[in-house]
Amino acid sequence: ALGGGEGRLVMGCEDGSIFDVNLVEKNAIRDWTGKHFGWITGVDVCKNRVVTGGVDWWVKLWDIDNTDAPIWERMNGYDMITDVKFGGVGCIAAAGEDTIKFYEQGGETQNKVLFKDNESVINTFVWGTNNEGKKDRLAIGIGGRVEIAKYDGND
């Protein structure tokens, strides 16, 4: 799983470790060992924040400069996480095996189920934006096809 921007790459590995790499200087900035139990399957970076998800069912939010403990973490039921994305100011979207849930950073539970398919496993998803740059739809890779789901921002 990969994320990054501005000359850096953040990678999640199969042993639950996270590597933060400087692409300009071609060296590891830091190695976050054992932050998940098992494969990290989703990573996204936004400024100084990193969100990760893994087969251990956990979604975790990190400060990229202080990786001792997550800022926020939430167990995604009993679904392994297949992908994670920042979903706008203060929000995280996480794909489980058949559901995409929307979380507020710091919130106790998910706010909204954005997408559900009881027949196939979600592989990945990306946000789409409208003409004003607002994230208002999802393109979802699931079961060998692509689905488009609208998101209006309301509960």
Each residue's pLDDT expressed in tens, for the chain with a length of 155 residues: 455 666 778 888 888 888 888 888 877 777 777 788 889 988 888 878 888 988 888 888 888 888 788 888 888 776 788 888 887 656 778 888 788 887 776 555 555 777 888 888 888 888 888 888 777 788 888 888 898 888 765 44
**Measured distance between the N- and C-terminal CA atoms of the chain, rounded to whole angstroms:** 30
Question: pTM, whole model, 2 decimals?
Answer: 0.81
Beta-carbon contacts of residue 32 (< 8 Å; ≥ 6 apart): 17, 18, 19, 20, 62, 67
List residues bridging with 93 in a β-sheet.
85, 102
**Cα dihedral 48→104→1→136 (10° resolution):** -100
